[in-house]
Amino acid sequence: MFNGLAIESKCQYCSLRSHVIGLCHEHSKNVDTKVTNCKSIEKIQTALFQELDPDKRVCFVSDAIILAIAPYARTDHYTPIPIVLMPSDKTKTGDKLAAWIRK
């Protein structure tokens, strides 16, 4: 099953991966999210708030698409288990979402 979930729009640093998280899937490829120094954080900040070129701009996550598995036949143990969460900015079209699901 698939569902959307509204989430808080903010970035934060993930120390386990040394990356900034909280950017949407659609545009996060426009910037390097790996934090190596202060300059890398400044580049992300510029892409978020000052960049006008849509090919270089990034945005915060505003929604998450969740893929979960749950048994439909049983009613006594109906517990959906999330297996995939994709951060989104709600701009993904049906065709693009279908291609993502196929992958």
Domain hosting 56: range is 2-102
Give the C-alpha separation, 23 to 54, whole Å.
Answer: 15
Q: Which stretch, 11-20, 44-53, 94-103, has highest mean pLDDT?
A: 11-20
CB of 40 within 8 A of CB of 74?
A: no
pLDDT higher for 7 or 38?
38
What pTM did the predictor assign?
0.68
Place of tokens 């899937």: 25
CB of 38 within 8 A of CB of 27?
A: no
Q: pLDDT value at position 93?
A: 76
Local structure of residue 29 (DSSP, 8 states): G
Tell me how many degrees the CA angle 64-58-11 measures, rounded to the nearest 5: 60
Domain count, the chain: 1
